[in-house]
């Protein structure tokens, strides 16, 4: 949380301005719930006068490079499943997700019932207060600062009387820590990497359809390759992960390998909405 003090003092005096307040969180999360290792990524929370957006910093970097060089050569696919936007002071989120070659959006209502504790702790010069909640089939512990008049936080976590500085689930599979704050002039334009994914415009669907699409992808993750398979071609081959596939039998074997990987690295934050892949 280095260099946050000055930023927050400025924030308090300009909270009602037309600027966007940007907060960068370090997210530590486990792809595999059985592993002891965490992946680390930086996530951005943008709070503008009318809207809140949460997305990966790598998406912003790729978009910035494209705008600098006037192309769309730099692309990034979010692996966290945590791209959301919502109206300010609302719990209704629009979610964005990549599934194979397509990009989808779907809406959810994510109101969180917080229990605020009297327990506090000091982190550098900040006094943080504890709150707990059940969300997404997990138990969460949050620490917020009521001196920062924003009732927002990372991902869908919001509704506390102050900005969330830290939050984690009790299994410590998802850990968010605020590391930086800054102000940006005006409203950041995210059309090329949030509302669409580098030329791939989000297709609006329902949450139920997302579950169906994810199951279809699991059932045949190489459906595109299978469709283009030609039994009559003696020199037919495709490259999957550096390995050349020459026959339908090899394609089927690779499909099973991918299904194992999909299941192993599927550790969704919202367990109560998890896709139930077959054993």
Q: What is the pLDDT of residue 241?
A: 74
Please say if the pLDDT value at position 13 is more than 70. no
Q: What is the pLDDT of residue 236?
A: 66
Please say if the pLDDT value at position 14 is more than 90. no
Please say if the pLDDT value at position 223 is more than 80. yes
Of 11 and 55, more confident: 55
Please say if the pLDDT value at position 157 is more than 50. yes
CA-based torsion, 51, 53, 59, 60: positive or negative? positive
Contact in structure between 58 and 47 (CB atoms under 8 Å): no
pLDDT tens for each residue of 186-222: 899 999 999 999 999 999 999 999 999 999 999 999 9
pLDDT tens for each residue of 62-97: 999 999 999 989 999 999 999 999 999 999 999 999
Question: pTM for the whole thing?
Answer: 0.92
Contact in structure between 155 and 54 (CB atoms under 8 Å): yes
Contact in structure between 155 and 82 (CB atoms under 8 Å): yes
pLDDT tens for each residue of 106-140: 999 999 999 999 999 999 889 999 999 999 999 99
**Per-residue confidence band for 161, with pLDDT thresholds at 50, 70 and 90:** very high
Beta partners for residue 174, in sequence order: 29
Domains of the chain (ranges plus CATH)?
Answer: 4-197 (2.50.20), 206-273 (no CATH)
Give the DSSP letter of residue 261. Answer: H
Give the DSSP letter of residue 69. Answer: H
pLDDT, averaged across the chain:
91
Of 269 and 235, more confident: 269
pLDDT tens for each residue of 257-277: 999 999 999 999 999 999 999
Which contiguous run of DSSP H or E holds residue 83? strand 83-87
Task: Report the pLDDT averaged over residues 48-55.
Answer: 96
Please say if the pLDDT value at position 104 is more than 50. yes
Place of tokens 């600027």: 19
Residue 67: CB partners within 8 Å, gap ≥ 6? none
**Going by DSSP bridges, is the β-strand pair 102-109/203-204 parallel, antiparallel, or unpaired?**
parallel
């Amino acid at each position: 949380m280095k260099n946050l003090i000055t930023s927050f003092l400025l924030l308090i005096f300009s909270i009602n301005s037309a600027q966007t307040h940007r907060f960068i969180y370090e997210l530590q999360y486990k792809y595999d719930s059985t592993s002891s290792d965490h992946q680390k990524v930086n996530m951005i929370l943008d709070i503008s006068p009318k809207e809140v957006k949460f997305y990966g910093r790598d998406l912003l970097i790729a978009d910035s490079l494209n705008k600098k060089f006037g192309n769309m050569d730099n692309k990034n696919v979010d692996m966290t499943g945590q791209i959301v936007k919502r109206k300010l002071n609302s719990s209704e989120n629009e979610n964005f997700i990549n599934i194979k070659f397509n990009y989808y959006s779907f809406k959810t209502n994510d109101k969180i019932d917080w229990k605020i504790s009297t327990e506090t702790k000091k982190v550098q010069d900040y006094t943080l207060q504890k709150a707990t909640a059940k969300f997404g089939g997990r138990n969460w512990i949050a620490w917020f600062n009521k001196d920062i008049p924003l009732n927002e936080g990372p991902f869908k976590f919001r509704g506390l009387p102050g900005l969330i500085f830290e939050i984690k689930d009790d299994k410590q599979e998802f850990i968010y820590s605020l590391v930086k704050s800054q102000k940006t002039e005006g409203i950041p334009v995210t059309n090329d990497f949030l509302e669409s994914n580098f030329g791939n415009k989000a297709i609006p669907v329902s949450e139920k359809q997302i579950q169906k699409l994810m199951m279809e992808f699991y059932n045949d993750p190489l459906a595109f390759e299978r469709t283009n398979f030609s039994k009559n071609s003696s020199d037919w081959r495709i490259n999957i992960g550096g390995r050349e596939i020459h026959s339908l039998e090899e394609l089927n074997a690779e499909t099973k390998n991918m299904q194992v990987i999909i299941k192993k690295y599927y550790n969704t934050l919202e367990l109560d909405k998890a896709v139930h892949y077959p054993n």
